[in-house]
Amino acid sequence: MPKLLQAFLKSPKVSIMVQENITSILLENRIFSPPENFVNQANLTKKEYDRLVLKAQTDFEGFWAELAEKNIFWFKRWEKVLEWNEPFAKWFTGGKTNVSYNCLDRHLKDRANKVALIWISENGEKRKLTYKELFNEVCKFSNVLLDLGTKELDRVVIYMPLIPETIIAMLACTRIGAIHSVVFGGFSIEALKDRINDAKAKLVITADGGYRRGQIVPLKANVDEALKKCPTVEKTIVVNRLQTKDQRPKTKDQEKVSSPWSIVPGPTYYWYHDLIKNISNKNKPKELDSEHPLFILYTSGTTGKPKGILHTTGGYLLWANVTMKWVFDIKDNDIFWCTADIGWITGHSYVVYGPLSCGSTVLIYEGAPNYPDWGRFWKIIDENKVSIFYTAPTAIRSFMKAGNEWVEKYNLSSLRLLGTVGEPINPEAWMWYYKNIGKEKCPVVDTWWQTETGGILISPIPGVTNTKPGSATFPLPGVFADVVDENGNQAPYNQSGLLVIKKPWPSMLRTIYGNDERYKQTYWSRGVACNALTKGSLYYLTGDGACKGTNNYFWLLGRVDDVIKVSGHLLSTMEVESSLVSHPAVAEAAVVGYPHEIKGEALCAFVVLKQSAISNQQSALNSQLKDHVAQQIGPVAKPDQIRFTDSLPKTRSGKIMRRLLRDIASGKKTVGDTTTLEDVSILEKLRVEEE
Ligand code: WT7
């Protein structure tokens, strides 16, 4: 289907981004070289960087072997660096290791009393755990899991707020070789149920609730509902979050969250604090194969069904660890804060496994960025002397909008490095971040990666790279990223194409859980006829558009398929469509993304109502449908706009012409090529709806 690229280049969504970006690339002449102190003291210096780049090119496996030897503790050394039975990779085969050992046990000698976690709750509580304390808790909880009959390879779903127990639960799973699957606490009952069932989870770990903007998120109640349709779950462990310090607020939800365990038929419930009492803190980590499955994390695909991305042990850990050192320049006295929730890959790699495997101090914050006001993040940085801060462009744009007065109230001089991730960052937002947060002293690392890539693949290195606002700059050493046209040939400079990775890397996904075929189809055979081109070897297709500009700078241009990013959350338009169509009033729906000042992209749903529903109050339906989607998928998927229409623009073969809808949603006055449209008059009607 080379059509994919054509459609991509023609699609208004992309052409808007491409035009803007390409213009900015051509015009962008601001370059920021690494500050002096980084040049001299960074973990990765220019000299070493050059050596690594060369080594990766001339001795690919030797390059990875060297890193694996230097950075990871192995119970048993690997025999083979890479078995590449494309597109299925095995890294460091024969090697035995354990992720929790690497994150905890090996720091006990030198860092037992160093703070591992600083947790800040939304209402201002603070808890600190040293490496020794975290180690003890993880050992105890590992014993709990074993006592409950959890075995190697069992799937454990974690549906939690951002509290230390979430991290303890993850590490305990890795210690005993169980596979965790963290489901974002903002996901709905339906989404939770689908993920539990797809993973065939035996155990669910949750909390009685979490806090978000002062409200209670009824996690346990959601689990109760979901488990009515999850036959594989045998047991549930519930962390008592709401009753800590007797600060439980009196709200309507109180009833719901504290509903007696016994009324729910099915799995047995246990309180976390009951289980952890009187249990031994001695636990020997399992010596697991390098390719032992580590976790599953669900991400949106182009179809309605989320994909369970499977990561394995040795390779994933290695890259999380190494990128932490290279990209974030992590040092022993740093306080590292990545604002991502643990329910996303960023939370896995750069809240838990990357920093803890480096023995760093990690800050986690339970709540919202604007609670109680827009100064919250800056206050946290000031009070805790955060030195490295990693967040998303959508958050940066909200802060810009909220105004500099929130920033100016606080002392941010502890910061020495800033990072962004999740979507393309526009040069204005980059500059604002650099000036107002970094005070023109902190390098900004714009890190490109995906759930599937496990760790950062394209990013500046703070002591080496000259950055340009809006560019993720270059692939890291060992990463063979490129931009190709629809035939798999290198795309010309300053022209957009598809971002591909030409060689496997250790933290790549191994498959889509339970669906090797979908894995092949989605990542290795879609789009370009790469096989012929690369004389037999496949390219990994990222699904992103990109462009290489002067001096090989990479500029990321957003997704080329039907997944879009709203406030940094990946959503499938198809998933939202099927949710809308499941509402009794809806006959047909088409969902598209359009550019949005703060969210990056927003969702617009074009909805055709069933005859029987047409007389209904449309404004009431509008909010009903939004709530329906929020309930089925989660609040992040709520369409920003719903437009009712009599029909959707289709080709003669009945395919919805989404690019026309994108034009309309983004308010363009003229739309693209309409020659294949069956009924041109529809367009006029759709426009009228808009007025
Ligand atoms: C998609 C992956 C990777 C952690 C969070 C997102 C977009 C991510 C950047 C960046 C431009 C970016 C891509 C990618 N993306 N980082 N620095 N510049 N785009 O993980 O939810 O799997 O999303 O996020 O489109 O494909 P994810």
Cβ within 8 Å of residue 372, ≥6 positions away: 214
- Indicate whether residue 448 lines ligand 1 (CB < 6 A): yes
What are the start-end ranges of the E strands in 259-320? 268-271, 288-289, 293-299, 307-312
Mean pLDDT along residues 268-280? 91
- Indicate whether residue 375 lines ligand 1 (CB < 6 A): no
C-alpha dihedral over 376, 380, 382, 385, to 10 degrees? -160
Length of the chain in residues, anyone?
Answer: 691
The pLDDT value given to residue 664: 87
Q: Which two tokens stand for residue 106?
A: 């090996």
The pLDDT value given to residue 379: 98
What separation in Å is there between the alpha carbon of 250 and the centre of ligand 1? 39
DSSP string, 431-455: HHIIIIITTTTS-EEEEB--GGGSS
pTM assigned to the model: 0.89
Q: Which atom, in ligand 1's list, is nearest to the CA of 559? A: 25
Amino acid at 51: R
Residue 331 to residue 43: CA distance in whole angstroms: 8
Neighbour-count burial for 395-404, b at 16+ CB within 10 Å, e otherwise: bbbbbbeeee
By most ligand atoms within 8 Å of CB, the mutation choice from 299, 349, 396, 423 for ligand 1 is 423
User: How would you write 313-324 as a 3-class SS string?
Assistant: HHHHHHHHHHHH
Query: Which single residue is written with the structure tokens 């910061």?
Result: 415
- Indicate whether residue 451 lines ligand 1 (CB < 6 A): yes
Query: Degrees (nearest 5) of the Cα angle 451, 456, 459?
Result: 140
The pLDDT value given to residue 293: 98
Strands 126-130 and 511-512 come out as: unpaired
Q: What residue owns the CA closest to ligand 1's atom 6? A: 422
Starting from the edge strand earliest in sequence, which strands make up the sheet with 335-338, in order? 126-130, 115-120, 361-365, 335-338, 388-391, 417-421, 444-447
The pLDDT value given to residue 245: 42
**pLDDT above 90: residue 196:** yes
Strands 210-212 and 203-207 come out as: unpaired
The pLDDT value given to residue 352: 98
What separation in Å is there between the alpha carbon of 299 and the centre of ligand 1? 11
Return the percentage of the chain with pLDDT > 90, whole number: 68
- Indicate whether residue 165 lines ligand 1 (CB < 6 A): no
What separation in Å is there between the alpha carbon of 241 and the centre of ligand 1? 31
Q: Which two tokens stand for residue 667?
A: 């308010």
Q: What residue owns the CA closest to ligand 1's atom 17? A: 448
**pLDDT above 50: residue 671:** yes
- Is the C-alpha dihedral spanning 186, 189, 194, 199 positive or negative? positive
The pLDDT value given to residue 254: 38
By most ligand atoms within 8 Å of CB, the mutation choice from 341, 468, 557, 565 for ligand 1 is 565
By most ligand atoms within 8 Å of CB, the mutation choice from 297, 345, 508, 544 for ligand 1 is 544
Per-residue pLDDT of 620-656, as tens digits, reads 899 999 999 999 888 889 999 999 988 888 777 677 7
**Inter-residue contact 201 to 233 (CB < 8 Å):** yes
- Averaged pLDDT of the chain: 88
- Indicate whether residue 393 lines ligand 1 (CB < 6 A): no
Residue 497 confidence class, pLDDT cut points 50, 70, 90: confident
Q: Which atom, in ligand 1's list, is nearest to the CA of 556? A: 11
Per-residue pLDDT of 97-123, as tens digits, reads 999 999 999 999 999 999 999 999 999
The pLDDT value given to residue 528: 47
Q: Which atom, in ligand 1's list, is nearest to the CA of 569? A: 21
What separation in Å is there between the alpha carbon of 640 and the centre of ligand 1? 21
Q: What residue owns the CA closest to ligand 1's atom 11? A: 424
What separation in Å is there between the alpha carbon of 423 and the centre of ligand 1? 5
Cβ within 8 Å of residue 283, ≥6 positions away: 138, 139, 140, 142, 143, 146, 175
By most ligand atoms within 8 Å of CB, the mutation choice from 421, 512, 555, 560 for ligand 1 is 421
Q: Which atom, in ligand 1's list, is nearest to the CA of 542? A: 26
Q: Which atom, in ligand 1's list, is nearest to the CA of 349? A: 4
- Indicate whether residue 447 lines ligand 1 (CB < 6 A): yes
- Between the CA of residue 134 and those of 106, 270, 286, 353, 365, what are the distances in Å? 13, 21, 18, 14, 17
What separation in Å is there between the alpha carbon of 422 and the centre of ligand 1? 4
**Inter-residue contact 558 to 423 (CB < 8 Å):** yes
- Dmax over CA atoms of the chain, in Å, equals 74
Q: Which two tokens stand for residue 451?
A: 């759930």
**Inter-residue contact 636 to 569 (CB < 8 Å):** yes
What separation in Å is there between the alpha carbon of 343 and the centre of ligand 1? 15
Per-residue pLDDT of 394-411, as tens digits, reads 999 999 999 999 999 999
**pLDDT above 70: residue 10:** no
- Indicate whether residue 544 lines ligand 1 (CB < 6 A): yes
Query: Which single residue is written with the structure tokens 């598809």?
Result: 498
Neighbour-count burial of 620, counting CB atoms closer than 10 A to its CB (0-12 exposed, 13-18 middle, 19+ buried): exposed
What separation in Å is there between the alpha carbon of 421 and the centre of ligand 1? 6
Which range is least confidently modeled, 124-128, 310-314, 350-354, 599-603?
599-603
What separation in Å is there between the alpha carbon of 453 and the centre of ligand 1? 10
C-alpha dihedral over 538, 544, 550, 553, to 10 degrees? -90
What separation in Å is there between the alpha carbon of 450 and the centre of ligand 1? 5
Residue 538 confidence class, pLDDT cut points 50, 70, 90: confident
- Indicate whether residue 351 lines ligand 1 (CB < 6 A): no
Mean pLDDT along residues 592-602? 90
Query: Which single residue is written with the structure tokens 């974002």?
Result: 184
The pLDDT value given to residue 568: 86
What separation in Å is there between the alpha carbon of 448 and the centre of ligand 1? 6
**pLDDT above 50: residue 11:** no
Q: What residue owns the CA closest to ligand 1's atom 7? A: 423
C-alpha of 75 from chain center? 30
* Highest-scoring range by mean pLDDT, 44-58, 208-222, 594-608, 636-650: 44-58
Partner residues linked to 155 by β-bridges: 179
Starting from the edge strand earliest in sequence, which strands make up the sheet with 540-548, in order? 481-484, 496-501, 540-548, 554-559
**pLDDT above 80: residue 462:** yes
**pLDDT above 50: residue 248:** no
What separation in Å is there between the alpha carbon of 452 and the centre of ligand 1? 10
The pLDDT value given to residue 422: 93
The pLDDT value given to residue 533: 46
Cβ within 8 Å of residue 516, ≥6 positions away: 88
* Number of alpha carbons in the 13 Å side-chain half-sphere of residue 52: 19
DSSP string, 156-186: EEEE--SSHHHHHHHHHHHHHTPEEEE--TT
By most ligand atoms within 8 Å of CB, the mutation choice from 298, 319, 449 for ligand 1 is 449
The pLDDT value given to residue 25: 67
The pLDDT value given to residue 494: 84
Which range is least confidently modeled, 281-290, 300-309, 465-474, 675-684?
675-684
Q: Which atom, in ligand 1's list, is nearest to the CA of 459? A: 17
